[in-house]
Amino acid sequence: MRSRATAAATAAALACLLAGCGSSAGGDPGTVVYWDTSGAGESAVFTEIAQECGRTGGYAVDVQTVAFDQALNNFKTAAQGGQGPDVLRADVGWVAQLAQAGLIQDLSGTPLADTADFLPEPVASTRYDGKPYAVPQVTDTLALLYNERALAEAGVEPPRTWADLERIAPALGGDRAMFLNNDAFYALPFLYAEGGDLVDTGTRTITVDSPESVRGLSIAKDLIDSGAARTALDQTNSYGIMKAAFTSGEVAMVLDGPWVIPELSQSELFADGQNLGIAPVPGPGGPIGGHDYVLRQGSDATGNATKFVECMSSTANQAAIAERLGLLPTRRSAYDEPAVADHPVVSAFRPLVENTLPRAWIPEGNELLEPLKTAYAQVLAGHADAGTALDRTAGIYHETVLDGYTRR
């Protein structure tokens, strides 16, 4: 498979090397360097818990906040040079890629390999070639978030299907009914809507251009064309535009995950979580997401890093994170804690996570999203129909991403 190095990756690599990228191969085994890729509204809580883990565990913790969109390239560059953090908060889609590259540790035979208390959906993302390479931190999916007052005043219920959305949109002001975020992860519910997917890992077949996938992605454009939804053609700023439209009351519904709830709760319209409804994504379900802890291969602080991840992923700390941030635990036992069981966001999202559709946990999994992002933008803008855009996507998968996969 041909190289996919880009100027952006090179720039990120240079920045990483100039910055030192955390600990080195000759680092201090008594200090755990932790790269935290959480958002601005979450990092203070994770930092506080991380420091407490170090205090109670008898080791130092150096928490370094790293921008999520730069973390993967920076980690790969650093780890290839024997540098980088001892522990990385990795997106679930990164684990298989890092494991295949030999940049993170196989956790077999360590206390971190015990996943009996963890939910099966997030555990699936931690394995590569039948071995454990990560510990689930938080899990998530997309939900239909809605303005309860707006729907009540319009006399409508949250849509269960995309056809329902078209039906109720006039009562909500046409395209003020919903905003569609112009990004790949948010395209997946549409791809799944008619039984489509990106790949079939069992048969090693590219399915992103299947009739089911094409029909599903076409639904998004149909919603735009029918005046039942709007989007932003400015893909870079689409997410921010969507949040602004929702918190101002300009639109009544969006698709988003639990990570956005703390920010929404700071707005006047959804102060302290009031007036915010949470319902399943219309259709069969949404994609599973989340984050995992991984240990860098070659870390001199492996012993303390192992204790650190044990502490961070403990039932007590998962419960504390859920209570304070509304993020979903990955341990079953954490849901038994009263503060978690009674949390309105967690209790609303938990059944949605149990109904998620599986993703392809393969080394190339993360690379499947960028071509889909391009295709989705073309479809929403009317520059290509779903069939044409997804045919191009399948071609990119076959030529540059998926070695050994066949096209339909």
C-alpha to C-alpha distance for 41 and 45, rounded to whole angstroms: 8
At which residue do the structure tokens 């012993």 appear? 303
With H, G, I as helix, E, B as strand and everything else as coil, classify residue 381. Answer: helix
Q: What are 366's two structure tokens?
A: 């993360």
Find all residues with CB under 8 Å of 149, minimum gap 6, and list them.
275
Summarize pLDDT for 47-88 with one digit per residue, the tens: 999 999 999 999 999 999 999 999 999 999 999 999 999 999
How many Cα atoms sit within 13 Å of 97 on the Cβ side? 17
Q: Which of 122, 35, 128 is nearest to 76 (CA)?
A: 35
Query: Is the per-residue pLDDT at 16 higher than 60?
Result: no
Summarize pLDDT for 235-247 with one digit per residue, the tens: 999 999 999 999 9
Summarize pLDDT for 234-290 with one digit per residue, the tens: 999 999 999 999 999 999 999 999 999 989 999 999 998 899 999 999 999 899 999
User: Got the DSSP string for 51-112?
Assistant: HHHHHHHTSEEEEEE--HHHHHHHHHHHHHTT-B-SEEEEETTTHHHHHHTT-B---TTSGG
DSSP-derived letter for residue 132 is E
For residues 343 and 272, the answer to whether their CB atoms sit within 8 Å is: no
Summarize pLDDT for 194-241 with one digit per residue, the tens: 999 999 999 999 999 999 999 999 999 999 999 999 999 999 999 999
Burial 372-407 (b: 16+ CB within 10 A, else e): bbbbbbbbbeeebebbebbbbbbebbeeebbeebee
Summarize pLDDT for 173-185 with one digit per residue, the tens: 999 999 999 999 9
For residues 105 and 133, the answer to whether their CB atoms sit within 8 Å is: yes
Q: Which of 136, 132, 142 is nearest to 122 (CA)?
A: 136
> Could you give the angle at the alpha carbon of 276 between the alpha carbons of 270 and 279, nearest 5°?
160
> pTM score, two decimals?
0.90
Query: Is the per-residue pLDDT at 10 higher than 50?
Result: no
Q: How confident is the model at residue 358 (pLDDT cuts 50, 70, 90)?
A: confident
